[in-house]
Structure 1
């Protein structure tokens, strides 16, 4: 829901950083992989309850996720890069939730499972519609720079980052925060499935 405004706020600094990296022949894919590697370090940090370390790793990952897209737009986007980016993003998101489950299995385990369940719904509806949109040549004018049809929802990247930050700053409230975010994600699933189905059905009938 907040991505369109958040992207505008970080667009200039990300583009400036991307120009510098591209000038030094740093590829978008290398930034994607490096950012994922740093982000994945949040998992052992969370297991050891080093929440500030995990927070730094998460923020670096998200900066890298913005930089790789900006670099790709300079150097030319590729299907392989888009595939790598979205796949590693979903693995990273899940690893953070899993890390909190490992930090305190008895207290956090069920809430983490509920959130991962919701993540499956948001991720699958997001990617399934992107496949259909690509097949039909549909374009999302709200996110023209995305390499695939970016199906919006109540829970997007900005909301996910905000909750991850809250998890790290207030680990004692992970259960309450995780359940809250799971509900938000499930609302997103409902709106994406219903909205996506209606959009595709209308496209089938030629009314879109």
Structure 2
């Protein structure tokens, strides 16, 4: 929901930083992998109860996630890079939730509910993107992307805000997880309805 606004704020400095890194010969895929390593460390820190360290590593992960796209746009985006970026993003989000589940027994059930909701948002997001690409649909509301990025109540900005809150106030993770998980299910439902309407007719199921 907030991604279009956030993109307008962060894209100009990211473009400048990306151009600088590209001129220095730093590749987008390398940044993606380094950001994921920071994300793995963030999840491990959270699992060990070191949420402030986890928060710092989360910030590094998200900075890398922004810079890799900026570098890719400066040097020429590739399908491999886009694939790597989205897969590692989804894995990172799931591992952060797993970290909170490991950190405290009372987090286990809300974490399981949240991970199930991530399955709904992820499947609806990627499924819509596949068919939108097949039909030649495009959007630049969330910046220039290699494939269609559908919006919703819970997007990247909201997910990052949720994880930041959990790191700042880990004792409230169960409450945050139930609320955010419910919002994710609303997002998934809205995407299913949109897909049902937008992809009516045309080629049949494979």
Relative to the length of structure 2, the TM-score reads 0.96
* SS class of match (2:152): coil
Q: Which runs of 4+ in 1 moved over 3 A?
A: none
Question: 2: distance between equivalents of 1:125 and 1:80?
Answer: 21
C-alpha deviations, 1:17-74, integer Å up to 9, x for none? 1111101111111100000111110122012100000001111111111111111111
CA contact (8 A) 2:152 2:190 kept: yes
Tell me the equivalent position of 1:70.
70
Report whether the alignment pairs 1:31 with 2:59: no
Instruction: Structure 1 unaligned segments of length 5 or more: list them.
Output: none
Instruction: Structure 2 unaligned segments of length 5 or more: list them.
Output: none
Q: How many residues align?
A: 203
* SS class of match (1:201): coil
Relative to the length of structure 1, the TM-score reads 0.95
Tell me the equivalent position of 1:173.
172
Tell me the equivalent position of 2:19.
19
CA contact (8 A) 2:152 2:187 kept: yes
Quickly say closer, same or farther: Cα 1:26–1:170, change in 2 above 3 A.
same
Worse-superposed segment, 7-16 or 84-93? 7-16
Question: 2: distance between equivalents of 1:136 and 1:12?
Answer: 30
Tell me the equivalent position of 2:124.
125
- Give the deviation of 1:187 after TM superposition: 0.3
- Give the deviation of 1:141 after TM superposition: 4.1
C-alpha deviations, 1:91-142, integer Å up to 9, x for none? 00000000000000x2100000000000000001000111111111111242
Worse-superposed segment, 10-19 or 24-33? 10-19
